[in-house]
Chain A
Amino acid sequence: MYRRLLININQVRNRLIHTHNTRLTLPSTKCKERESFAPVTWAPCTARPLGTSSISFSENKESSTSLSEDKGKTPEETEVNAEVNTDGQRNTEMNEGTEISNATLTSQLETEPVVKPEDRKQVETTKSGKESLLELLGAMKVEVTTVRKIRPSKTPRMSERPDQEPMESTHSMFQRAAAEGSQQHGTLNPALVAAVSAAASTLPNRHQAESELLKQLRKHEAIPDTQRRADIGHIISDMKVGKRPNGRSNVRPTSQIRFDDDGKGYTQDRGITSELDGVRRRKSPFTSKRLNLFAAAAEQDALSDLGPTLWDIDLVNQIVQATNQMPRNGFEEMIQWTKEGRLWQYPINNEAGLEEEASVPFHEHVFLEKHLDESFPQQGPVRHFMELVITGLAKNHHLTVQQKKEHIDWFRDYFRQKEDVLKEAEAYLN
């Protein structure tokens, strides 16, 4: 694969140089440009995996090239939409993809042959094709570490879609490019080396790929400067790439497995992930869409009239069995005892357990004369005796009012039974 990449990089280079040269002579030959664009189309615009570079143009900016963004910076007339391929199948369809991209996409490009005067001015400024390539490659910010840094799992970042990116004029871009690239002659620019290794890192045999790429690039260092007057930016500026929105591009698997070459095999995003997630507060699956079966404000139907059924009791019992109900310290044990009713309740209340007595006012307890009225004699020894009885009862705090009444009633019955005897003794006066 890296070979193909290599070839393509060289192709790009050569054609850029070529185009530039031709351009200088023949400013707007449409067919020429078309031809020259062919290799450049290894940039986006296919739904297929990208053949030439094997880099998937995911919208996720860290892991893959932000080439699309880069293009977004090119003049307004170029509308580039990176077609993102998130499936991991790029390797298999690579060759095919190359062909497709080379052959078919040239036609898709609606090149605008018009080169504006100010552009031309910019073109005149000293800029080598290498610079442009560098810029292009540099934009491919592919991670080069052997051990992949932990990255948060991705969510589509709509805000960074190229079409929403503030457009940068060619003018300013070129100026920037000019400022950046000035001294790369002789040895390879470290940035270029980085870019190459980045590109290589996407290939299976990374180190070999890298070294070969670099070797190849060094060979081309020998090419005289005059040949290298080309500007990829220029060409790109003239490109117009058809947009092809694709829903799939937004979807990324929640977690991608990446291959890690420190021997651990497949690793997963973790660690810092969660912290970053916390910061970004990404969409949690718990807020996903609902089934929409029930109306939210469905009123509660009347609760079952009968108390807890056997089933309810059993449910509670099951829950109690399943959970740990053992007390962990003395206080918890006391709580348990309180619930069972074995312990005097807190806060301490002298009248605990006397709830039904609380509704009886005290005068019921104390003033018991009213119970003597009807059936007892109004005077005499029996009356006197009963008065003593109710005095005693009034002072007795062990009995309830009901018990006191029963006590009095017992005497009433007793004296009624003995009425004859009492009358005989003239003790019963009524």
Chain B
Amino acid sequence: MASSCSQALRHHVCKSSRLLRVHLQKSWTNRSFEGAVCVSSSFALNSAADQQPAVSSPEEIVIPKKKTWSKEAVLQALASTVKRDPTASDYRFQDDPYLTPKTSSEFKLFSLSQESGRNAAKYFINTYPKYFQKDYAQPHIPCLMPDTLEAQIEEVSEAALIERIGMRKVKAAVDLYDQLLQAGTSVSLDVTNQLLDLICFYGDHDPAQENVPEQRNEETEDVQDEPQAKKGRAAKASDLLKATWKEKNNAERIFALLSEPNKHSYSALIRGMVKYGAYSKAFSTYTDLLNSRLKADMHMFNALITAAPEVKEKYNEKWELIVDLLKQMAEQKVRPNLLTLNAVLKALRRCGTVGKSQAFPVISEMKALSIDLSLASYTHLLAIFYKPGAPIQGQTDILQEVMNEVSGKSFTPQDPDDAQFFITAMRICLDTKDMEQAYRVHELLGVGENWRLLGNDFQQNIYYARFFSLLCMMENIDVMLKWYRDLVPSVYYPSSNVMRDLLQALDTDNRLDLIPQIWKDIKQLGHANRQNLVEELLTLMAREKHNQEVQESFAECALDIKKIYDTGDRGKVLLNWTAGSLSDLISVLLAAHRRQDAWDMLKLFKTHNRVPSEELLNKFLMCVKEGGEVNQAVELVQISAGFCLPGTPKLIQRVQQEFELTEQQRKMLSDLEIQSFNSE
């Protein structure tokens, strides 16, 4: 009732406004005759009125056009006001503070769990649709309802075939098609083409079964989850290896059955052949197409261009083949699109030096056809000029040129390779040590929706690792730390190698006093069990003398590190003491005048079968002397003698000279002296 009433009301309003507009227009035309300006459309009314204020009267009303907002417009406006919070973790983890990831492995685990939970729910809904039929939502929400996975139409008919094609059941569709033919029913060309599409797309294999949980996970699993994704990728790769284009498969058989295959049929066949590696076969099919006086379509050419580098050996021949294909495209009046351009550029990546000379003409050609380049085009361009591992020979300009082109633009994803741009560009920045361009790349990432093109979590990690390594290498420590605070750990969990880079950067810029802070981060990032990282940290702390305050904090940090050594994870020892790490730790403690702690540490040499250096013992003796602990000094000598260190006699001598010893201690020392003399 209410709705119908408002309906009627709106109808009325519309009507009256239309009347009003008609009236206005009429009056305007009258007036415009006076002003000798004829503006026919009421849309231009406003501007014309502005130009001629003398003519227009004050009561003129311009009814604004009805504006239809897209349903996301409000939310988009709101979302644009939200900036990234460098102290918060990723949005998907914000529901539960307990599940805030602190290390990269936790990040993987949590995001993976979330996704797999979703998948499990979907799996149950789709497997048992009868329990999920109650539709609470009004209006109806289709995506919440279970998908129908079983074919509904049982009889042998074209409709049933269409249904099976829609459900992507390759085997069932092929069987049904055969049954239809046997029964003498002809299937329309369109449906046959759809069937061909289906068979060629899946390479004459059923797609991974939707209702088998493991495989389903692989297929629909979010690519965010790196280990899972790797597994998935491996599985897919092996699938592809298995699923090569077979001689006389169903697609070819059905194609042969067609009396008059059209462009679409050829297109499906060629694309399938290219997708499943039957490259030369694709070209011969293309020749067949030309012989039957048909024209190719764009998708066919795109597929053939992709296949071109596979069928020729030499760089020149590859390129000639591509040019030939492009010429045929032009002849057949097929307009290339962005994917054509990207296919050509991708093929040029495998054409060596020819690629370098031809890449820009290709791009100019496409620009002349007013095809806007996507990030994938630039990715290919960069890959043509900068081969990974190859020496960089004055090609910096290319990255710079590319950045000049793309800076400040917002890109929409148009090609699956678009997501490679940022990591490629950052790799080049890292290789050429070009901080300036790296900043530009990073700036571009912040424009518009470009962040989506950074790709999945795995790629994000690579990108930030490269960026951050470059920062460690090239930037001064303050700028670097600013970035560090900004990126870690809200978007990036550095690996232990990157943390070592960071330590080295601290060392270069003489900011070793920050080490205790960094140690806290290392602990949080889960790198406290990395032996070489911890040892490097200890070495850096022990190497130089700092002021008292810094030494104190170092000592605290050192004791903290000691705890890591002591507490194994469930009985498993995480870190092994080495002579170096022990003596570094003791030096740090001694520098902070923590004699007692250091003394405890010294005993660890014995328990872990390590031998202290003479230098360390000398240092220790100095410290003991400052404290005037005679007993400790003697004990130190005993320890030294226990290790049979060659420096023991000297040590004994020092103790004898520098300390006031009791008779007993003197005796003991002289005994030790004799002992060590004998042992030598």
Chain A interfacial positions (CB closer than 8 Å to B): 153, 253-257, 268-271, 273-274, 277-278, 284-296, 298-301, 304, 306, 309-311, 314-315, 318-335, 338-342, 345-347, 350-354, 357-358, 360-366, 394-397
Q: Across the A-B interface, how many residue pairs have beta carbons closer than 8 Å?
A: 219
Within 8 A of A (CB), among B348-369: 360-365, 367-369
Set of chain B residues within 8 Å of A346, measured between Cβ atoms:
69, 71-75
Among A292, A306, A324, A354, contact of B3 (Cβ-Cβ < 8 Å): A354
Q: Decide: A290 and B364 in contact? CB cutoff 8 A.
A: yes
Q: Which 10 A-B pairs have the closest CB atoms?
A: A353-B139, A362-B4, A255-B394, A331-B79, A290-B364, A346-B74, A345-B71, A322-B419, A290-B365, A318-B416
Q: Decide: A310 and B197 in contact? CB cutoff 8 A.
A: yes
Among A270, A309, A314, contact of B436 (Cβ-Cβ < 8 Å): A270
Interface-located stretch among B21-29, B454-462, B630-638, B647-655: B454-462
Q: Decide: A319 and B335 in contact? CB cutoff 8 A.
A: no
B231 within 8 A of A: no
Measured CA separation A298–B405 after assembly (Å): 26
B169 within 8 A of A: no
B91 within 8 A of A: yes
Set of chain A residues within 8 Å of B183, measured between Cβ atoms:
none
Measured CA separation A345–B224 after assembly (Å): 28
Closest to A285 in B: B360
Set of chain B residues within 8 Å of A285, measured between Cβ atoms:
360, 398, 401
Among B72, B299, B326, B364, contact of A339 (Cβ-Cβ < 8 Å): B72
Q: Decide: B419 and A289 in contact? CB cutoff 8 A.
A: no
Q: Decide: A255 and B5 in contact? CB cutoff 8 A.
A: no
Closest to B404 in A: A284
Q: Decide: B394 and A323 in contact? CB cutoff 8 A.
A: no
8 more A-B contacts (CB under 8 A) besides A257-B393, A324-B454, A362-B8? A254-B394, A284-B404, A290-B367, A324-B419, A330-B91, A346-B73, A362-B7, A397-B2
Q: Decide: A301 and B335 in contact? CB cutoff 8 A.
A: yes
Within 8 A of A (CB), among B372-401: 393-398, 400-401
Set of chain B residues within 8 Å of A306, measured between Cβ atoms:
190, 194
Measured CA separation A290–B335 after assembly (Å): 16
CB B59 to nearest CB in A, in angstroms, measures 31
Closest to B403 in A: A274
Q: Decide: B436 and A361 in contact? CB cutoff 8 A.
A: no
Within 8 A of A (CB), among B70-85: 71-76, 78-79, 82, 84
CB A197 to nearest CB in B, in angstroms, measures 28
Interface of B is mostly: helix
- Interface size range on B against A: 35 or more
Set of chain B residues within 8 Å of A296, measured between Cβ atoms:
368-370
Q: Decide: B393 and A311 in contact? CB cutoff 8 A.
A: no
Given that A274-B400, A340-B143 are known contacts, is A294 also in contact with B197, CB under 8 Å in the complex? no
Among A270, A333, A345, contact of B91 (Cβ-Cβ < 8 Å): A333
Among B8, B336, B397, contact of A361 (Cβ-Cβ < 8 Å): B8
Closest to B272 in A: A311
Q: Decide: A328 and B84 in contact? CB cutoff 8 A.
A: yes
Set of chain A residues within 8 Å of B140, measured between Cβ atoms:
353
Q: Decide: A322 and B75 in contact? CB cutoff 8 A.
A: no
B415 within 8 A of A: yes
Measured CA separation A293–B297 after assembly (Å): 17
Among A270, A334, A347, A366, contact of B1 (Cβ-Cβ < 8 Å): A366
Q: Decide: A153 and B364 in contact? CB cutoff 8 A.
A: no
CB B615 to nearest CB in A, in angstroms, measures 33
A–B pairs, 22, beta carbons within 8 Å: A270-B396, A285-B360, A287-B364, A290-B364, A291-B361, A293-B327, A294-B336, A306-B190, A306-B194, A321-B416, A323-B453, A324-B419, A329-B82, A331-B82, A332-B75, A332-B91, A341-B142, A342-B143, A347-B74, A363-B8, A365-B1, A396-B1
B548 within 8 A of A: no
